Amino acid sequence: MSKPMKAQTFTNVWDALEDSPEDAANMTMRSNVMAIINATVRGWDTTQAQAARRLGITQPRLNDLLHGKINKFSLDTLMTLATRAELKVKIDIRPVHQQKRRGMGDLSRQRATP
């Protein structure tokens, strides 16, 4: 007879899905950045082709981003796209016991100031 499974609780979905805390942290950051870029681009009221040119990528690549194909984008690439979208990028690093519930990072939807 097998023992009943013990319920597990996770801070976010990536903690449950990824094999290591490092991978979970990377995916958390990538998904946060991707979501903000996605919302920003959708708010531009323009075509995908025009938005892609604005970001310096192809329209099919933008389509991947807008459809959440997270495994096609590194954190570095997403940070570059955020900057091109005129978003202010801010990385918040602190000891684990002081983390926000949202994850390891924060990306503000503020416009970059010169």
Give the HSE-up count for residue 15: Cα atoms under 13 Å, Cβ half-sphere. Answer: 9
Question: So what's the pLDDT on residue 65?
Answer: 97
Indicate the pLDDT class of residue 100, thresholds 50, 70 and 90. Answer: low
Q: What's the pLDDT tens digit per position in 22-38?
A: 888 888 889 999 999 99
Q: Which domain holds residue 71?
A: 15-111
Any domain includes 4: no
Residue corresponding to tokens 């519930």: 101
Rounded to two decimals, what is the model's pTM? 0.72
The three-class DSSP label of residue 101 is coil
Any domain includes 5: no
* C-alpha dist (Å) from residue 30 to 3, 4, 20, 82: 37, 35, 15, 11
Number of domains in the chain: 1
CB 16 within 8 A of CB 8: yes
Q: What is the CATH number of the domain that holds 65?
A: 1.10.260.40
Any domain includes 8: no
> How far does Cα 80 stand from its chain's mean position?
12
| Radius of gyration from C-alpha coordinates of the chain | 17
> Residues 34, 39, 41, 44: what is their CA dihedral angle, to the nearest 10 degrees?
-170
Hey, which residues does 111 pair with through a beta bridge? Answer: 87
